[in-house]
Copies of this chain bind each other. A is one copy, B any other.
């Protein structure tokens, strides 16, 4: 019998998504992007909806400062809102905790959630707690908003576009960045407010794997220049490690230079031109098909 380990995370999501394909007219973008984009009362905006689990032993180790766990659980979701060019508004939280957990630790977890949410103007408005026997988890759901004309999807990359990434990639688990990263909400808002961003996503499963998602959604390819990839450590780490929570996006080639110039005067964060969008539907490294795979929660364990 085929198990979840056999299909892997993406295979599983693909199978589930097929069955769920929403026919509801209010759903502008459903499964397969960083957030769902929904048509609500405001004709000029989409409501954004995203939800991400963080589990002990998978996304953090037992004994990790609960404040950092809370910050990470919130930041992952804010990163998804950022990836759509959106503004986070409200969050609800479900936690599973062991009964022998000190209340102080739960309060620290919430302090981490709250501080990260507040930093980006997101109000925590509810949730639920439950007992677990062994594996604590935190699931955060964030509702955001974005102007319909500004929403950045995975499906918009065009042949000839320039591909950018923010920050540096790789080594996030080793360096601890996966617990301390800042979601690129402000940077993403600035991008969609000032430029025509064709496609955007957050780099969470490793650049190689995430670009494959863009290939699927945009039906184009990506030719990445190996020397250009801003790596923390090896190129392999930069392509495959995951948990970077940086932005990858594409803009028309004619906008690239102005974007780089203005970015430099605006943000103290590295922005790197790493390649071009090409016709061949694949991820290429210096023109050669890239076989390396990104992080898969199921396949690796």
Contacts and interface: CB of A to CB of B under 8 A. Distances in A.
Contact of A130 (B49, B58, B103): B58
A288 interface: no
B36 A110 contact: no
Given A90-B27, A103-B4, A135-B132, A125 B51 contact: no
A159 interface: no
Given A1-B104, A20-B110, A125-B36, A96 B55 contact: yes
A101 B36 contact: no
A146 B45 CA distance: 19
Interface stretch (A10-18, A171-179, A242-250): A10-18
A42 interface: yes
A139 B53 contact: yes
A102 B22 contact: no
Given A38-B90, A101-B3, A297-B131, A126 B50 contact: yes
A89 interface: yes
Residue among A2, A45, A96 having the largest count of chain B Cβ atoms under 10 Å: A96
A133 interface: yes
A41 B38 contact: no
Instruction: Report copies per complex.
Output: 2
Interface in A22-42: 22, 24, 26-27, 30-31, 33, 35-36, 38, 40-42
Contacts of A30: 123, 125-126
A22 B92 contact: no
Contacts of A1: 102-104
A112 to B, nearest CB: 12
Residue among A94, A102, A126 having the largest count of chain B Cβ atoms under 10 Å: A126
Interface of A: 1-7, 9, 12-13, 15-16, 19-20, 22, 24, 26-27, 30-31, 33, 35-36, 38, 40-42, 45, 47, 49-53, 55, 57-59, 89-90, 92-104, 106-107, 110-111, 114, 123-135, 137, 139, 141, 143, 297-298, 301
21 contacts: A1-B103, A2-B102, A4-B97, A4-B99, A4-B131, A9-B129, A9-B131, A16-B110, A20-B110, A22-B124, A26-B90, A27-B123, A35-B126, A40-B42, A41-B45, A47-B47, A49-B92, A49-B125, A49-B126, A51-B127, A55-B131
